[in-house]
Structure 1
């Protein structure tokens, strides 16, 4: 499920395995795993 983009038009989505991924269209459409889960993404990127 795509829920955002990175500001450069690269979609960010939650994959079937629960990981959060991005397609880097400037790097041969490489799929990058940003985090193991949405919760992990938040824990690593949002301050309390």
Structure 2
């Protein structure tokens, strides 16, 4: 039995041209695109009360 996945749900997302460049420009030291997107999704869900 392998270890439990921290993020078992996966989804491929189509983004508008230039979105990844904007994300890269907004990253802080040591942050990666995936963690940025996860944080953004969680923040929006909290904002909406979900």
Q: TM-score, normalised by structure 2?
A: 0.29
Higher normalized helix content (fraction of residues): 2
Q: RCO (CA 8 Å, sep 6+): is it higher in 1 or 2?
A: 1
More strand by share: 1
Larger Cα Rg: Structure 1 or Structure 2? 2
Instruction: Using structure 1 for the length normalisation, give the TM-score.
Output: 0.30
